[in-house]
Structure 1
């Protein structure tokens, strides 16, 4: 997959998530599974790019991710931590991301951030987890405006790339 973007003046915006068959992506502030290959893929795909995530997602990770610019969206204007850029809303986060002139911006959760950024996403990099865990955070439904472009089946999960249909 090329780093070239077909989105005109802005970088490609990619949603990246591990999603259970029932749509669950989180339970409390945790992910209800541990898949080493998913973390390795996340690292490989996002390395050198910009990540946008909500504060709860950042807190669940617990630290800035090396080799990536991390922009954390929080409603708390006093929230600060070393090694990340803070945005007070999603528009601010995208403005900050675009100012860095990356080739890709990754939206990395959580549920509220995915939903709010949904219409901006060009591509989805999904790890579909073949499980139906309990959880209180869900990923938006991937509807007919998306088409699957790649699938890599594994034991218990699959790596899937979706692209938004051109208008």
Structure 2
């Protein structure tokens, strides 16, 4: 099963200058809890924005650059988004973690969305694709407030697959 995890504000912004805009410790803990021991799939820019290879996760990096190499056993490089579609019927949950282009291309294939909805309107240069919430059942809605940031943890499951 392919799932997606993202932090998104009210303007659908997910980042600026290849970085997250917000530092919300509870969101980072949730990301770790949900993805630990799983496969995470991302674009090259998202991979390069990580502080390091995330422990206890298999990384799949999508890039058009055929010469792009990472010499680490936990990282696999693929050059075509179609290589990811094989995970749609995979029994274990795999996660799309960004960036903008990968989210846009993979959203229709995702069975679950784990979103942190940040109740703010900062501008950014990377955006989450619009989607129709009516196509999903909400499994989780949890309100939070931390250091003047209001946010919600939301989990959606696609109704028709």
TM-score by length of 1: 0.86
1:45 paired with 2:34, answer yes
The answer as to whether partners of 1:111 and 1:137 remain within 8 angstroms in 2 is yes
2:23 counterpart SS class: coil
- Residues 98 and 121 of structure 1: is their aligned pair in 2 closer, same or farther, counting only changes over 3 Å? closer
For 2:8, the equivalent position in structure 1 comes to 19
Q: Report the CA distance between 1:166 and its aligned residue.
A: 2.3
- For residues 60-90 of structure 1, what are the alpha-carbon distances to aligned partners after superposition, in whole Å with 9 as ceiling and x for unaligned? 1142211110000011011111331001011
Contact 2:2 2:88 in 1 (8 A): no
Q: Which runs of 4+ in 1 moved over 2 A?
A: none
- 1:90 and 2:84 aligned: no
Q: Is the 8 A contact 1:72 1:93 kept in 2?
A: no
| Structure 2 alignment gaps of length 5 or more | none
Unpaired stretches in structure 1, ≥5 consecutive residues: 1-11
Equivalent residue for 2:135?
145
Q: After TM superposition, give the deviation of residue 142 of structure 1 in Å.
A: 2.7
Report how many residues are paired.
Answer: 154
